[in-house]
Structure 1
Amino acid sequence: MQRRVFSREFKLEAVKLVTERGVAVLQAARDLDVAESVLRRWMREAAADTRHAFPGHGQVRPEPQEIDRLRREVAKLRAERDILKKAAAYFARGSDTNAIGPSECPNR
């Protein structure tokens, strides 16, 4: 059996049927021939953010896009930090070999 796909408009109208017209969730689900749990999930998604609910067609919600961008930025910053740590260690080690010890001081 193939999975049914519902348009964004259909989902929003189904949610409005319950929230604005006062139809019971179970009755609306039966009338629309969808599972009650599906209709309840649509209601939760619409309540969370109506504008970004049901993006569909490969459109990702803004939150996952932002998370991906931040993960890339964190990886870049960690790489930069590691480079700077190695450079600091290299220069610190190099300055120790060029330092004048107490026995080599000309005033002693």
Structure 2
Amino acid sequence: MRKTYDKELKLQAVRVVKEDGKRIAEVARELDVAEQILHNWVKKYNQSKDDTFVGSGYVQPEKKMENDLQKRIP
């Protein structure tokens, strides 16, 4: 079964790597997360800080507006 991680855990893990300077391998071990997954989180965070981790209970504002409009169309 595939594990899912909430947005807060992802952001916390990325902050520990970026702000505290810990190695990805070390943080991944501490959180029991695969190194590659954490590496992907850091990469995604670097690409789009404001819209990071969409799909984990967070929707980009533009996508939310589009979804809301779609719901109104019969």
TM-score (norm 1): 0.52
> 2:22 aligned with 1:23, yes or no?
yes
Partner of residue 38, structure 2: 39
Greater relative contact order structure (CA < 8 Å, 6+ sep)? 2
Identity of aligned residues (%): 32
- Asked whether the equivalents of residues 14 and 45 of structure 2 are also in contact (C-alpha less than 8 Å), the reply is yes
In structure 2, the gaps of 5 or more residues are: 64-74
Q: How does 1:38-77 map to 2 (within 5 A)?
A: 38-56=37-55, 57=57, 59=59
In proportion to residue count, which structure has more helix? Answer: 1
In structure 1, the gaps of 5 or more residues are: 66-108
Q: Determine the C-alpha separation between the residues in 1 that align with 2:21 and 2:5.
A: 22
SS at the partner of 2:41?
helix
Deviations 1:68-106, CA, capped at 9 Å, x for gaps: xxxxxxxxxxxxxxxxxxxxxxxxxxxxxxxxxxxxxxx
- How many residues end up aligned between the 2 structures? 62
**1:59 shift after superposition:** 2.9
RMSD of aligned residue pairs (Cα, Å): 1.8
